[in-house]
Amino acid sequence: MREQYGNPVFGRVTQEYPVADTEYGKVAGENRNGIAVFRGIPYGGSCDGNNRFLPAREPKAWTGIRDCRKNGPIAVQEGGSITASWDFGNYFSGGNPEPFGCNQEIRGENCLVLNVLTPQPGEGKRPVIVYIHGGGFASGSGTTVLGADGLVREQDIVLVGINHRLNAFGFLYLGEIEKDFLESGTAGMTDLVLALKWVHKNIGFFGGDPENVIVMGESGGGIKIATLLAMPETASLIKGAVMESAFGKPGRYTTDMAADTTAHFLYQLEIKDNVIARLQELPDSHICGAAFSLGPFAFEPAADGIHLPFNAKDGFPMVNPQVPIIVGSSEDELAAFASEQEHKIQTEEEMIHAIVNGCGPGWMRLPETTPSKARELIRVFRSMDRKGDDNAHLLMKICTMCGPLEQAAFEHAVYCSAQNAGSVFRYLNAYDAPHRVIPEKRFSWHGADLPLQLRIVLHPESEAVSKRLAAFLGAFARTGDPSLPNLNWAPFSAACETMIIDDCCRIECDPTRPYREAMSL
């Protein structure tokens, strides 16, 4: 059957409303061209009221058949699912938002639900891909998988997307106030652990193999996966990981740092006494508003020593270093966030000014750089330019490739390869997709490759690279190696082998070395 991967031959569902078992009760989904789609299946119980900020519990069982044809709640947040957003939505939905169901979506604290897509419930032992959404630790949802029936149909996999608690609801550390809440700083991560345990126990009912579960995530989803890999509870739950365009090292955010954030949070709400009781009584909108006022990166998992150990070595700890990993980033990540003025830069002097003074959002900016170093960076990048990029495009590439996302991806590959030689695969996405709001301009912008991997394609010219990315993902899910019959993906080693993703994919040895050397001058 291997030669058929990539073709739409695996969807075999015939029932109008396919039904699957779970340990808690039966669920009914929809039939989308032979693929069974289940939405909003509970994997955890109530986490509002007196359960707010506490570790989640298993869901209650139900009788009869639960209707899982509409989206379940997404986490309380500012914003919502990316497929419904004004800027990213059209691209991430492939121009077809209806299958994602976001127009009916609600935000709520009892958001511990997941979505499952399968070629055939109750039959087979297919590899399982669990998608963990981006949006930092503040926003997002697992809704993106609801449009990925093409990936499931072509690669014969089972696909899962998870919703979990975010921002203060998932990561407000209250352990210094009351010992019953020592785990509150990792609640959002233990939600994900609970979901993975649900997958392990239940995915066989959906035609998946519980012993072959890989996790994948982009941006905030990538750092969540790095965090999961550092949590002892996941050692037997994850058989492979795909981490894309992410930065940040798990276990470096101490409980002292988290307590300081909590103090600022409580100041926003003017709470000085009876802290826990008052926090659990407040409307969720008040909690969300106070969290939002601190900024999108205020909250992250605390190294509580219970679920997440403190990371004393400042690397990327893994409780199971034998887990195969794909890790990488895109050349022009910054282009997704750059201002209209930055996209209109024309002269080299304007480029130098932007590099020295900071281009893009603060979390993506370069370390302090002098004008002379900026000129050298421009020279090096021009000498490496194969596509004739204009100055605005070249600026996006410089500020991306010398910035935190690419540095983190490279360091992650080096660190993990040292622990697990032969099972780390690095990529650099150089495929230029039409920009999310300026479609006449093309970049390998932050997140542009994610829908393509899931076979969600807005622009027809991206169809070929989408199929290749999905094939890499399918091969990795099946074997732990993303190599294809006609394209070997060499593991990352001292030669820094890197798969260049583009119209024509290829392996290069250490393609970013000239950039790193220029930055170190």
For residue 308, count CB atoms less than 10 angstroms from its CB and return exposed for 0-12, middle for 13-18, buried for 19 or more.
buried
Q: Do the Cβ atoms of 239 and 204 come closer than 8 Å?
A: no
Q: Using CA atoms, how far apart are residues 426 and 368, in angstroms rounded to an integer?
A: 27
Q: Using CA atoms, how far apart are residues 11 and 156, in angstroms rounded to an integer?
A: 8
- Coil, strand or helix at 210: strand
Annotated catalytic residue: which of 139, 141, 219, 245? 219
Nearest to 335 by CA among 499, 190, 448, 463: 448
Place of tokens 């260049």: 500
Query: What letter does residue 365 receive in the DSSP assignment?
Result: P
Q: Using CA atoms, how far apart are residues 365 and 359, in angstroms rounded to an integer?
A: 6
Place of tokens 């997307």: 161
Please write down the HEC assignment for all residues of 21-66.
Answer: CCCCCEEECEEECCEEEEEEEECCCCCCHHHCCCCCCCCCCCCCEE
Place of tokens 């709470």: 271
Q: Is 466 a catalytic residue?
A: no
Alpha-carbon dihedral angle through residues 248, 251, 256, 262, given to the nearest 10 degrees: 60
What is the set of active-site residues?
A: 219
